[in-house]
Structure 1
Amino acid sequence: MECQECHKRPATLHFTQVVNGDKTEVYVCEVCAKEKGYMTYPEEGYSLHHLLSGLFSPSFEIQQDTPRQETEELQCPKCEMTLSKFKQVGKFGCSQCYQTFEEYLDPIFRRVHSGNTAHHGKIPARKGGDMRIKKQVDAYREELQRLIKNEAFEEAATVRDKIKELEKELGRDDA
Protein backbone atom coordinates (compact mmCIF):
# COMPACT_ATOMS: atom_id res chain seq x y z
CA MET A 1 0.00 0.00 0.00
CA GLU A 2 1.34 3.45 -0.84
CA CYS A 3 1.46 6.48 1.40
CA GLN A 4 -1.80 8.46 1.43
CA GLU A 5 0.08 11.76 1.75
CA CYS A 6 2.89 11.70 -0.82
CA HIS A 7 1.77 8.75 -3.00
CA LYS A 8 5.48 8.02 -3.64
CA ARG A 9 6.77 5.75 -0.87
CA PRO A 10 5.20 2.63 0.62
CA ALA A 11 3.09 3.17 3.73
CA THR A 12 4.94 1.76 6.73
CA LEU A 13 2.75 3.22 9.49
CA HIS A 14 -0.94 2.78 10.15
CA PHE A 15 -2.77 5.20 12.47
CA THR A 16 -6.34 4.72 13.66
CA GLN A 17 -8.13 7.59 15.34
CA VAL A 18 -11.60 7.27 16.89
CA VAL A 19 -13.33 10.54 17.73
CA ASN A 20 -16.93 10.45 18.99
CA GLY A 21 -17.35 7.01 17.48
CA ASP A 22 -16.07 8.03 14.00
CA LYS A 23 -13.09 5.89 12.99
CA THR A 24 -10.43 7.36 10.69
CA GLU A 25 -7.53 5.29 9.37
CA VAL A 26 -4.36 6.78 7.87
CA TYR A 27 -1.62 4.88 6.04
CA VAL A 28 1.58 6.92 5.68
CA CYS A 29 5.30 6.51 5.16
CA GLU A 30 7.68 7.42 7.98
CA VAL A 31 8.80 10.65 6.27
CA CYS A 32 5.23 11.97 5.87
CA ALA A 33 4.35 10.87 9.41
CA LYS A 34 7.15 13.05 10.80
CA GLU A 35 6.29 16.01 8.52
CA LYS A 36 2.56 15.90 9.32
CA GLY A 37 3.16 15.49 13.03
CA TYR A 38 1.69 12.00 13.35
CA MET A 39 4.75 10.99 15.30
CA THR A 40 7.47 12.79 17.21
CA TYR A 41 10.60 11.56 18.90
CA PRO A 42 11.39 13.31 22.18
CA GLU A 43 15.03 13.12 23.18
CA GLU A 44 14.35 11.29 26.42
CA GLY A 45 11.73 8.90 24.97
CA TYR A 46 8.26 8.19 26.30
CA SER A 47 7.56 7.04 29.82
CA LEU A 48 4.37 5.68 31.35
CA HIS A 49 3.87 9.13 32.86
CA HIS A 50 3.91 10.70 29.36
CA LEU A 51 1.33 8.19 28.17
CA LEU A 52 -1.05 8.75 31.08
CA SER A 53 -0.64 12.53 31.10
CA GLY A 54 -1.37 12.53 27.37
CA LEU A 55 -4.66 10.77 28.08
CA PHE A 56 -5.67 13.15 30.85
CA SER A 57 -4.65 16.48 29.30
CA PRO A 58 -5.67 18.12 26.04
CA SER A 59 -3.31 17.89 23.07
CA PHE A 60 -2.82 21.65 22.95
CA GLU A 61 -1.21 23.93 25.48
CA ILE A 62 -3.48 25.92 27.78
CA GLN A 63 -2.94 29.65 27.58
CA GLN A 64 -2.20 31.34 30.88
CA ASP A 65 -5.05 33.86 30.55
CA THR A 66 -7.85 31.36 29.81
CA PRO A 67 -10.64 30.83 32.34
CA ARG A 68 -9.74 27.12 32.46
CA GLN A 69 -6.59 27.99 34.42
CA GLU A 70 -8.79 28.84 37.42
CA THR A 71 -10.34 25.36 37.41
CA GLU A 72 -6.91 23.78 37.84
CA GLU A 73 -7.06 24.79 41.50
CA LEU A 74 -10.40 23.07 42.17
CA GLN A 75 -9.85 21.02 45.31
CA CYS A 76 -11.65 18.09 46.94
CA PRO A 77 -12.90 19.16 50.39
CA LYS A 78 -12.29 15.71 51.91
CA CYS A 79 -8.79 14.68 50.76
CA GLU A 80 -7.60 18.06 49.35
CA MET A 81 -6.72 16.53 45.95
CA THR A 82 -6.57 19.22 43.26
CA LEU A 83 -7.67 18.79 39.64
CA SER A 84 -4.11 19.42 38.43
CA LYS A 85 -2.77 16.77 40.85
CA PHE A 86 -5.40 14.28 39.60
CA LYS A 87 -4.36 14.94 35.99
CA GLN A 88 -0.74 14.39 36.99
CA VAL A 89 -1.24 11.21 39.03
CA GLY A 90 -4.24 9.72 37.20
CA LYS A 91 -5.94 8.54 40.40
CA PHE A 92 -8.39 10.11 42.82
CA GLY A 93 -7.63 10.51 46.50
CA CYS A 94 -11.09 9.53 47.80
CA SER A 95 -14.68 8.82 46.78
CA GLN A 96 -15.65 12.49 47.24
CA CYS A 97 -13.35 13.43 44.32
CA TYR A 98 -15.87 11.97 41.86
CA GLN A 99 -18.49 14.53 42.93
CA THR A 100 -16.00 17.36 43.20
CA PHE A 101 -14.53 16.91 39.71
CA GLU A 102 -17.69 15.51 38.07
CA GLU A 103 -18.02 18.17 35.35
CA TYR A 104 -14.40 17.62 34.20
CA LEU A 105 -14.54 13.81 34.02
CA ASP A 106 -16.76 13.41 30.93
CA PRO A 107 -14.16 14.77 28.46
CA ILE A 108 -11.46 12.61 30.06
CA PHE A 109 -13.60 9.47 29.80
CA ARG A 110 -14.44 10.30 26.19
CA ARG A 111 -10.72 10.59 25.34
CA VAL A 112 -9.77 7.41 27.15
CA HIS A 113 -12.73 5.33 25.90
CA SER A 114 -12.84 6.35 22.23
CA GLY A 115 -15.70 8.80 22.56
CA ASN A 116 -17.92 6.69 24.84
CA THR A 117 -18.97 7.51 28.38
CA ALA A 118 -21.24 4.53 29.11
CA HIS A 119 -20.16 0.92 29.40
CA HIS A 120 -21.84 -1.32 26.82
CA GLY A 121 -20.09 -4.58 27.61
CA LYS A 122 -21.44 -8.09 27.86
CA ILE A 123 -23.68 -9.20 30.71
CA PRO A 124 -23.13 -12.67 32.19
CA ALA A 125 -25.90 -15.06 31.11
CA ARG A 126 -26.49 -16.64 34.54
CA LYS A 127 -26.35 -13.51 36.69
CA GLY A 128 -27.47 -10.79 34.31
CA GLY A 129 -31.18 -11.56 33.82
CA ASP A 130 -32.51 -8.54 35.71
CA MET A 131 -29.80 -6.29 34.30
CA ARG A 132 -30.72 -7.30 30.75
CA ILE A 133 -34.41 -6.58 31.43
CA LYS A 134 -33.61 -3.20 33.01
CA LYS A 135 -31.50 -2.21 29.99
CA GLN A 136 -34.36 -3.23 27.69
CA VAL A 137 -36.82 -1.14 29.75
CA ASP A 138 -34.48 1.86 29.51
CA ALA A 139 -34.19 1.40 25.74
CA TYR A 140 -37.98 1.16 25.43
CA ARG A 141 -38.41 4.34 27.53
CA GLU A 142 -36.09 6.26 25.21
CA GLU A 143 -38.02 4.90 22.22
CA LEU A 144 -41.31 5.89 23.90
CA GLN A 145 -40.12 9.48 24.39
CA ARG A 146 -39.03 9.66 20.75
CA LEU A 147 -42.39 8.31 19.54
CA ILE A 148 -44.35 10.74 21.72
CA LYS A 149 -42.23 13.63 20.45
CA ASN A 150 -42.99 12.54 16.86
CA GLU A 151 -46.69 12.12 17.77
CA ALA A 152 -46.72 8.42 16.83
CA PHE A 153 -49.15 7.58 19.62
CA GLU A 154 -50.26 4.13 18.43
CA GLU A 155 -46.67 2.88 18.29
CA ALA A 156 -46.03 4.61 21.63
CA ALA A 157 -48.90 2.66 23.20
CA THR A 158 -47.36 -0.62 22.00
CA VAL A 159 -43.98 0.33 23.48
CA ARG A 160 -45.68 1.40 26.73
CA ASP A 161 -47.33 -2.04 26.98
CA LYS A 162 -43.94 -3.73 26.43
CA ILE A 163 -42.48 -1.65 29.27
CA LYS A 164 -45.32 -2.68 31.61
CA GLU A 165 -44.81 -6.33 30.67
CA LEU A 166 -41.10 -6.20 31.42
CA GLU A 167 -41.66 -4.35 34.70
CA LYS A 168 -44.14 -7.05 35.79
CA GLU A 169 -41.50 -9.67 34.96
CA LEU A 170 -38.99 -7.77 37.13
CA GLY A 171 -41.54 -7.65 39.98
CA ARG A 172 -42.11 -11.43 39.81
CA ASP A 173 -38.37 -12.10 40.01
CA ASP A 174 -38.11 -10.06 43.21
CA ALA A 175 -40.91 -11.98 44.99
Structure 2
Amino acid sequence: MDCEVCHERPATLHLTNFINGKKTEVHVCQHCAQEKGYLETDEETYSIHDLLSGLFNFNSTFTNHQESNTQEATHKVCKHCGISYQQFAKIGKFGCGECYREFSEHLNPIFRRVHSGNTVHRGKIPKRQYVNLQKKRLLDDYRKELQRLIEQEKFEEAAEVRDKIKAIDQETVVEDRNKDGEA
Protein backbone atom coordinates (compact mmCIF):
# COMPACT_ATOMS: atom_id res chain seq x y z
CA MET A 1 0.00 0.00 0.00
CA ASP A 2 1.40 3.39 -0.99
CA CYS A 3 1.48 6.47 1.20
CA GLU A 4 -1.79 8.42 0.92
CA VAL A 5 0.06 11.75 1.08
CA CYS A 6 3.04 11.47 -1.29
CA HIS A 7 2.02 8.34 -3.23
CA GLU A 8 5.75 7.62 -3.68
CA ARG A 9 6.81 5.48 -0.72
CA PRO A 10 5.15 2.49 0.93
CA ALA A 11 2.90 3.27 3.88
CA THR A 12 4.51 2.10 7.11
CA LEU A 13 2.26 3.90 9.59
CA HIS A 14 -1.43 3.03 9.74
CA LEU A 15 -3.55 5.25 11.98
CA THR A 16 -7.18 4.66 12.88
CA ASN A 17 -9.11 7.50 14.49
CA PHE A 18 -12.60 7.45 15.97
CA ILE A 19 -14.08 10.93 16.19
CA ASN A 20 -17.74 11.29 17.18
CA GLY A 21 -18.31 7.63 16.32
CA LYS A 22 -16.87 8.04 12.81
CA LYS A 23 -13.89 5.88 11.87
CA THR A 24 -11.13 7.31 9.67
CA GLU A 25 -7.98 5.55 8.56
CA VAL A 26 -4.74 7.12 7.38
CA HIS A 27 -1.89 5.17 5.74
CA VAL A 28 1.35 7.16 5.41
CA CYS A 29 5.07 6.63 5.04
CA GLN A 30 7.42 7.55 7.87
CA HIS A 31 8.62 10.72 6.11
CA CYS A 32 5.09 12.07 5.60
CA ALA A 33 4.10 10.99 9.12
CA GLN A 34 6.89 13.17 10.52
CA GLU A 35 5.93 16.09 8.26
CA LYS A 36 2.24 15.84 9.26
CA GLY A 37 3.15 15.61 12.94
CA TYR A 38 2.01 12.02 13.47
CA LEU A 39 5.56 11.25 14.66
CA GLU A 40 8.11 13.48 16.33
CA THR A 41 11.17 14.09 14.17
CA ASP A 42 13.68 13.05 16.83
CA GLU A 43 11.85 9.80 17.53
CA GLU A 44 13.88 6.67 16.88
CA THR A 45 12.61 4.11 14.41
CA TYR A 46 12.18 0.51 15.49
CA SER A 47 12.26 -2.64 13.45
CA ILE A 48 10.14 -5.70 14.15
CA HIS A 49 13.28 -7.27 15.59
CA ASP A 50 13.55 -4.41 18.10
CA LEU A 51 9.91 -4.86 19.01
CA LEU A 52 10.24 -8.61 19.59
CA SER A 53 13.52 -8.19 21.46
CA GLY A 54 11.82 -5.63 23.68
CA LEU A 55 9.37 -8.27 24.80
CA PHE A 56 12.24 -10.14 26.42
CA ASN A 57 13.46 -7.07 28.30
CA PHE A 58 11.11 -7.29 31.23
CA ASN A 59 13.34 -6.39 34.21
CA SER A 60 11.48 -3.17 34.93
CA THR A 61 8.21 -4.95 35.72
CA PHE A 62 9.64 -7.59 38.05
CA THR A 63 9.93 -7.72 41.80
CA ASN A 64 13.34 -7.92 43.44
CA HIS A 65 13.19 -11.74 43.59
CA GLN A 66 12.38 -11.95 39.90
CA GLU A 67 15.07 -9.40 39.06
CA SER A 68 17.71 -11.54 40.73
CA ASN A 69 16.36 -14.55 38.78
CA THR A 70 16.65 -12.59 35.53
CA GLN A 71 20.16 -11.40 36.39
CA GLU A 72 21.06 -15.01 37.14
CA ALA A 73 19.64 -16.02 33.75
CA THR A 74 21.78 -13.50 31.86
CA HIS A 75 24.87 -15.48 32.93
CA LYS A 76 23.44 -18.86 31.91
CA VAL A 77 24.80 -20.57 28.79
CA CYS A 78 23.32 -23.50 26.90
CA LYS A 79 25.59 -26.51 27.37
CA HIS A 80 24.69 -27.87 23.93
CA CYS A 81 25.11 -24.90 21.58
CA GLY A 82 26.85 -22.30 23.76
CA ILE A 83 24.32 -19.48 23.33
CA SER A 84 23.88 -17.32 26.41
CA TYR A 85 20.54 -16.13 27.75
CA GLN A 86 21.74 -12.59 27.02
CA GLN A 87 22.30 -13.48 23.35
CA PHE A 88 18.87 -15.11 23.21
CA ALA A 89 17.26 -11.98 24.65
CA LYS A 90 19.10 -9.83 22.10
CA ILE A 91 18.30 -11.80 18.95
CA GLY A 92 15.02 -13.40 20.09
CA LYS A 93 15.96 -16.89 18.90
CA PHE A 94 17.42 -19.95 20.57
CA GLY A 95 20.47 -21.70 19.18
CA CYS A 96 19.07 -25.24 19.56
CA GLY A 97 16.25 -27.29 21.06
CA GLU A 98 18.20 -27.81 24.29
CA CYS A 99 18.00 -24.07 25.01
CA TYR A 100 14.37 -24.55 26.03
CA ARG A 101 15.44 -26.95 28.77
CA GLU A 102 18.43 -24.87 29.80
CA PHE A 103 16.48 -21.61 30.15
CA SER A 104 13.08 -23.14 31.00
CA GLU A 105 12.71 -21.54 34.43
CA HIS A 106 13.09 -18.07 32.89
CA LEU A 107 10.74 -18.51 29.92
CA ASN A 108 7.25 -18.52 31.49
CA PRO A 109 7.26 -14.75 32.18
CA ILE A 110 8.17 -14.19 28.54
CA PHE A 111 5.48 -16.56 27.28
CA ARG A 112 2.88 -14.87 29.49
CA ARG A 113 3.75 -11.47 28.01
CA VAL A 114 3.89 -12.65 24.41
CA HIS A 115 0.81 -14.91 24.55
CA SER A 116 -1.61 -12.84 26.64
CA GLY A 117 -1.00 -14.75 29.84
CA ASN A 118 -1.04 -18.26 28.33
CA THR A 119 1.85 -20.62 28.95
CA VAL A 120 0.29 -23.77 27.46
CA HIS A 121 -0.13 -24.19 23.71
CA ARG A 122 -3.46 -25.79 22.91
CA GLY A 123 -3.45 -25.33 19.14
CA LYS A 124 -6.39 -24.97 16.80
CA ILE A 125 -9.32 -27.33 16.89
CA PRO A 126 -11.36 -28.58 13.92
CA LYS A 127 -14.99 -27.50 14.39
CA ARG A 128 -16.37 -31.04 14.43
CA GLN A 129 -13.94 -31.99 17.22
CA TYR A 130 -14.44 -28.84 19.28
CA VAL A 131 -17.27 -30.19 21.47
CA ASN A 132 -15.40 -33.40 22.32
CA LEU A 133 -12.17 -31.58 23.08
CA GLN A 134 -14.00 -28.98 25.11
CA LYS A 135 -15.54 -31.75 27.24
CA LYS A 136 -12.17 -33.43 27.65
CA ARG A 137 -10.57 -30.19 28.82
CA LEU A 138 -13.46 -29.54 31.19
CA LEU A 139 -13.09 -33.05 32.62
CA ASP A 140 -9.34 -32.54 33.05
CA ASP A 141 -9.97 -29.25 34.86
CA TYR A 142 -12.60 -30.86 37.09
CA ARG A 143 -10.28 -33.77 37.91
CA LYS A 144 -7.49 -31.38 38.90
CA GLU A 145 -9.95 -29.41 41.00
CA LEU A 146 -11.21 -32.63 42.60
CA GLN A 147 -7.66 -33.68 43.48
CA ARG A 148 -6.94 -30.25 44.97
CA LEU A 149 -10.12 -30.32 47.07
CA ILE A 150 -9.35 -33.83 48.35
CA GLU A 151 -5.84 -32.75 49.34
CA GLN A 152 -7.36 -29.78 51.19
CA GLU A 153 -9.89 -32.15 52.81
CA LYS A 154 -12.87 -30.18 51.44
CA PHE A 155 -14.92 -33.30 50.87
CA GLU A 156 -18.34 -31.66 50.39
CA GLU A 157 -17.02 -29.49 47.56
CA ALA A 158 -15.12 -32.48 46.18
CA ALA A 159 -18.35 -34.49 46.07
CA GLU A 160 -20.00 -31.74 43.99
CA VAL A 161 -17.12 -31.75 41.52
CA ARG A 162 -17.22 -35.58 41.41
CA ASP A 163 -20.91 -35.39 40.52
CA LYS A 164 -20.16 -32.95 37.70
CA ILE A 165 -17.55 -35.36 36.33
CA LYS A 166 -20.03 -38.27 36.46
CA ALA A 167 -22.69 -36.19 34.68
CA ILE A 168 -20.32 -35.32 31.83
CA ASP A 169 -19.14 -38.95 31.59
CA GLN A 170 -22.76 -40.20 31.41
CA GLU A 171 -23.64 -37.58 28.82
CA THR A 172 -20.69 -38.71 26.70
CA VAL A 173 -21.74 -42.38 26.96
CA VAL A 174 -25.29 -41.51 25.83
CA GLU A 175 -23.95 -39.48 22.88
CA ASP A 176 -21.66 -42.36 21.87
CA ARG A 177 -24.58 -44.79 21.95
CA ASN A 178 -26.64 -42.42 19.80
CA LYS A 179 -23.84 -42.14 17.28
CA ASP A 180 -23.43 -45.92 17.13
CA GLY A 181 -27.18 -46.29 16.56
CA GLU A 182 -27.12 -43.74 13.71
CA ALA A 183 -24.24 -45.40 11.88
Q: Give TM class, smaller chain.
A: 0.5 to 0.7
C-alpha contact (below 8 Å) 1:147/1:156 kept by paired residues: no
Q: For residues 11-160 of structure 1, what are the structure 2 equivalents within 5 Å?
A: 43-58=43-58, 60=60, 67=68, 68-119=70-121, 122-126=124-128, 131-148=133-150, 149=152, 150-152=154-156, 153-160=158-165
The residue identity in structure 1 corresponding to 2:57 is S
1:69 to 1:122, Cα distance in 2 relative to 1, 3 A: closer
Deviation at 1:51, TM superposition (A): 0.7
Q: Is the contact between residue 78 and residue 98 of structure 2 (CA under 8 Å) also seen in structure 1?
A: yes
The alignment's TM-score, normalised by the length of structure 1, stands at 0.56
The percent identity for this pair of structures is 43
Could you report, residue by residue, the CA deviation over 1:102-132 in whole angstroms, capped at 9, with x for unpaired residues? 0110010111122222345652134567644
- The unaligned stretches of length 5 or more in structure 1 are 1-11, 15-38, 170-175
Residue 30 of structure 1: aligned partner = none
**How far apart, CA to CA, are the structure 1 residues paired with 2:84 and 2:102?**
10
Where does structure 2 lack aligned partners over 5 or more consecutive residues? 1-15, 19-38, 175-183
Structure 1 residue 71: Cα displacement: 2.4
TM-score by length of 2: 0.54
Q: Alpha-carbon deviations, 1:50-92, whole Å to 9, x = none?
A: 2112111126399xxx744342121111111110111111111
- What SS does structure 2 have at the residue aligned with 1:134? helix
Give the distance between the partners of 1:164 and 1:79, measured in 2 at CA.
47
Q: Structure 1 residues 125 and 88 mapped into 2: Cα distance closer, same or farther (>3 Å)?
A: same
- Secondary structure at 1:144 match in 2: helix
Q: May I ask how many residue pairs the two structures share in their alignment?
A: 131
User: What is the Cα deviation at residue 134 of structure 1?
Assistant: 3.4
**C-alpha root-mean-square deviation of aligned residues, in Å?**
3.9
Separation (CA, whole Å) in 2 of partners of 1:151 and 1:138: 19
Aligned residues of 2:139 and 2:165 also touching (Cα < 8 A): no
Counterpart CA distance in 2 for 1:121 and 1:128 is 12
Moved more, 50-59 or 122-131: 122-131
More helix by share: 2
- Following superposition, the deviation at residue 41 of structure 1 comes to 7.5
**Change over 3 Å in CA distance of 1:123–1:61 after alignment to 2:** closer
Further displaced range: 90-99 or 131-140: 131-140
Q: CA deviation at 1:137?
A: 2.5
Q: Which letter maps to 2:56? A: F
**Which protein, 1 or 2, shows the higher relative CO under an 8 Å CA cutoff with sep ≥ 6?**
1
Asked which structure has the greater CA Rg, the reply is 2
Paired position in structure 2 for 1:4: none
